[in-house]
Amino acid sequence: MTDIAIKIENISKTYRGSLVPAVDDITLDIPRGVKYGLLGPNGAGKTTTISILTGLLNYDSGKVFINGMQLEKKYKKIRQQIGLVPQDIALYDTLSARENLRFIAEMYGLKGKELHNRIEECLEMVGLAGNGRKQIRRYSGGMKRRVNLVAGILHRPDILILDEPTTGVDVQSRKMILEFLEEINKQGTTIIYTSHYLEEAEDLCDTIAIIDDGKLIIHGNTREIIKSKEEYTSLESVFLHLTGRKLRD
Amino acid sequence: MRKLFTSIMKEIIVLTRDLGGLLIIFLMPMVLVFVMAMIQDSTFRKMDETQLQVAFINEDRDSVGLAIEEGLNHSDMIILEKEYDNKPLDRESLIRLVGDGTFQIGIIVPAGVSQNLRKKAMYLVEKAFEDEEYPVVMVETEPSLVILYFDPVIKHSFRETVRMALSKLTYGIESQMVFKLFSQKVSELLDTDNSLDYDPSGIIQLEEHNAVNSRTEVIPNSVQHNVPAWAVFAMFFILIPLTANIIKERNNGSMLRIRLMPGSYLVTIFSKIIVYLFISMIQFLLMLLVGILILPLFGLPLLEIGDHIFALIVMIMATGLAATAFGLALGSIFNTPEQAAAFGSVSVIIMAALGGIWVPVFVMPSIMQTISTFSPLNWGLEGFYTIFLRGGGIIGILPQVALLLAFCLVCMIVAFYFLRLKKN
């Protein structure tokens, strides 16, 4: 297997009816086993990029390779290797956490003891083993986020893509989620992570890319980027220098 | 197959935990059938089997008056009243009571009608056997009138019906009397005791049948109309929980997750179709039970479902598929459950009105009857009419089944087009 988990070559995407590209000629290599932060202001093109990487959105030009396989050609195989944690709580709120996880696991083809063990293991990992029978609608925001998170790793993907996984959760849940991501990364999962919490991204991500107006502005090792200029004191200062202070819609 | 089963089970659990959705799917249509059947019962009876209140005065008290009275008494459509408020009717009260709508029709057989008829008949017979030496002289008589009064608001068809009935009766009486006198005269001339009896019902008899597969012949009663009509309506109304289900799944990202699962996207769509089709079948079954078990308890006619159970199942499935596909299309077109519910419910109500769910097609003006043939709800209703009322089987419902399946196919194409469009 190649050392590059994701290779993006000159991808562009313009939505129907829009004159401005949402993603504009981005080229990027994401090494295997990294914790990769995909950062940018609102409307920068992060979610579009994630949707393209997961094969959920067609793009106009360029090429995408996942684990060395071209996305369009080997999509069936590729999507088994990708886990997605959407920004919204992508769960059925009248099902319990266990029922939700069971549905997702069975749809990924898990069965029998393996299925049962994987669900229990996941609930245990996010501290919800005791609340697994509760319907999701009765959960707090943090609990929902945690179930949403483990729902993305039930099938043990090589690459986990998370779209703002800590939005709206309390400090405890956030800490737990970040520790969880560290843990699965240590086990070999490549993490691709978007967030508006730059401090959190700075702590978690060893590599980052900042995009704005659909264009890649900078990418590389987080620490090296921060040290590259005197005026850069933190990831937030890098971000503001590169994307400006103009409010975004 | 396992994925399909998993997805179906998920849909069933989601649905069974949605109390509002369940009420819309099961309870609301049952209440609708009950209420509408009760409300429309008298209207249907008027169209089908209304009995006319007829005020009757027999001043003649002879053969003509008695024959008319007996004849009208035998009519299913007429209730003959000779009294009002325990007082015998007279001409003045009859005219007043018909005028104020208490009775729809008043009939007076004046005194002497039988006598006059007898004299005229006698004249005709004598004239036929006239001896040149003794010419028969016509005796002056009063005209033989039977007087009718109509409530001004009574429908023309009712006037015609009564007029026809009376004409038939009076012709019969005339013929009978003339024939009898002829017979007596012939017996007298031949010096025999033989006399012939005349049957006023006529020699040529009418043989009546209900024409199967004839659209215009069928006039259902309230239950035969309302049960299938509101069942079809309810089947299409499942689009509200279905569209909400699809849009919520798409908006909260579940559909994204499903699309990432290998081979799960189509399975999820088909599981919805299967579950909602199954629900529509249960809905229909419940409605049939209301028609068979509950409505008769309230004095309404029993629902007759015909003998073609296989055709009925095919018809239910075709209607359910059309309804589910319509919900799927709306769920893929609209972005919020509110938009889909508003458009969906209004469109179903319009299609229901056009399709003869609210008001049966046969009472609509001809232009609306033509337009109604474009409503999928009308195709469903006509199919059930064919099975319930016309005794039609699978061949009889083929046109409706074909139309519903074509509608289903178009909706599916629209649904997949919009789902694909939204992906891009």
Pull the structure tokens for residue B116.
Answer: 């006059």
pLDDT of residue A233: 82
> Tens of pLDDT along A12-66?
999 888 888 999 999 999 999 999 999 888 888 888 998 888 888 888 999 999 9
With H, G, I as helix, E, B as strand and everything else as coil, classify residue A154.
coil
pLDDT of residue B218: 53
- Chain A: nearest CA to B328, how far in angstroms? 19
Provide the CA A105 distance to its chain's centre, in angstroms: 19
> Tens of pLDDT along A172-199?
888 888 888 888 899 889 999 888 888 8
Identify which of B10, B252, B424 has the shortest CB distance to residue A90. Answer: B252
> Do B424 and A103 lie within an 8 Å CB cutoff?
no
> Do B256 and A89 lie within an 8 Å CB cutoff?
no
- Beta-carbon contacts of residue B234 (< 8 Å; ≥ 6 apart): B25, B28, B29, B32, B283, B287
Tell me what the pLDDT averaged over chain B comes to: 84
> Do B257 and A90 lie within an 8 Å CB cutoff?
yes
For A151, name the nearest residue in chain B, comparing CA atoms only.
B257
Instruction: Give the percent of chain B with pLDDT over 90.
Output: 21
**Section B6-26 average pLDDT:** 85
With H, G, I as helix, E, B as strand and everything else as coil, classify residue B352.
helix
Amino acid identity for residue B95 in this structure = I
Bridge partners of A37? A193, A208
Give the DSSP H/E element, type plus range, for residue B79.
strand B78-81
pTM here is 0.72
**pLDDT: which is higher, B68 or B422:** B68
- Chain B: nearest CA to A56, how far in angstroms? 7
With a cut of 80, say whether residue A86 has pLDDT above it. Answer: yes
pLDDT of residue B195: 65
Bridge partners of A180? none
Nearest to A33 by CA among A190, A180, A153: A190
- Tell me the C-alpha distance between B199 and B25, whole Å: 60
With a cut of 90, say whether residue B330 has pLDDT above it. Answer: yes
> Tens of pLDDT along B331-366?
989 888 888 888 988 999 999 999 888 888 877 888
C-alpha distance from residue B35 to each of B230, B345, B361 (Å): 11, 19, 20
Chain B CB contacts of A16 below 8 Å: 421, 424
- Tell me the C-alpha distance between B352 and B343, whole Å: 14
Chain B CB contacts of A94 below 8 Å: 13-14, 17-18
Nearest to B65 by CA among B26, B107, B36, B23: B107
Chain B CB contacts of A84 below 8 Å: 256-257, 260
To probe the interface with B, which of A103, A108, A164, A167 has the most B CB atoms within 10 Å? A103
Listing DSSP states for B169-224 in one string gives HHHHHHHHHHHHHHHHHHHHHHT--------TT-SSPP---PPTT-TTT----HHH
Pull the structure tokens for residue A240.
Answer: 């503001």
- Chain B: nearest CA to A219, how far in angstroms? 27
Tell me what the pLDDT averaged over chain A comes to: 86
To probe the interface with A, which of B17, B260, B275, B423 has the most A CB atoms within 10 Å? B260
> Do B424 and A91 lie within an 8 Å CB cutoff?
no
Q: Which of A100-104, B22-26, B153-157 has the lowest mean pLDDT?
A: B153-157
Amino acid identity for residue B13 in this structure = I
pLDDT of residue A230: 80
| Domain ranges within chain A, ordered by starting residue | 87-156
> Tens of pLDDT along B19-72?
887 887 888 888 888 888 888 776 666 655 567 788 999 998 888 888 888 888
Which conformational region is residue A220 in: left (phi greater than 0), alpha (psi within -120 to 50 degrees), or beta? left
pLDDT band at A247 (very low <50, low <70, confident <90, very high): low
- Chain A: nearest CA to B421, how far in angstroms? 9
Pull the structure tokens for residue B233.
Answer: 């309506």
> Do A16 and B424 lie within an 8 Å CB cutoff?
yes
Amino acid identity for residue B329 in this structure = A
**Section B298-315 average pLDDT:** 87
pLDDT of residue B216: 42
pLDDT of residue B198: 67
- Tell me the C-alpha distance between B20 and B13, whole Å: 14
Contact A46, A54 (CB under 8 A): no
pLDDT of residue A101: 92
With H, G, I as helix, E, B as strand and everything else as coil, classify residue A13.
strand
Pull the structure tokens for residue B6.
Answer: 């998993």
For A83, name the nearest residue in chain B, comparing CA atoms only.
B260
| Residue B410, CA atoms < 13 Å, CB-side half-sphere | 9
- Tell me the C-alpha distance between B386 and B280, whole Å: 20
pLDDT of residue B399: 93
pLDDT of residue A236: 83
- Tell me the C-alpha distance between A53 and A194, whole Å: 13
> Do A99 and B256 lie within an 8 Å CB cutoff?
no
Which residues on chain A place their C-beta less than 8 Å from a C-beta of chain B?
15-16, 51, 54-58, 76, 79-80, 82, 84, 86-92, 94-95, 99, 103-104, 106-109, 111, 135, 151-152
Strands (E), B96-190: 105-109, 147-150
**Section B256-268 average pLDDT:** 80
With a cut of 80, say whether residue B264 has pLDDT above it. Answer: no
Give the DSSP H/E element, type plus range, for residue A209.
strand A207-212
- Tell me the C-alpha distance between A82 and B108, whole Å: 94
With H, G, I as helix, E, B as strand and everything else as coil, classify residue A12.
strand
> Do A94 and B258 lie within an 8 Å CB cutoff?
no
Identify which of B6, B13, B256 has the shortest CB distance to residue A107. Answer: B6
Nearest to B382 by CA among B365, B368, B361, B366: B361
B95-129 b/e (C-beta count within 10 Å ≥ 16 → b): bbbbeeebbbbbbbbbebbbbbbbbbbbbbbbeee
pLDDT band at B217 (very low <50, low <70, confident <90, very high): very low
Nearest to B16 by CA among B198, B275, B252: B275
pLDDT of residue A109: 85
- The three-point CA angle B261-B266-B271 to 5° equals 105
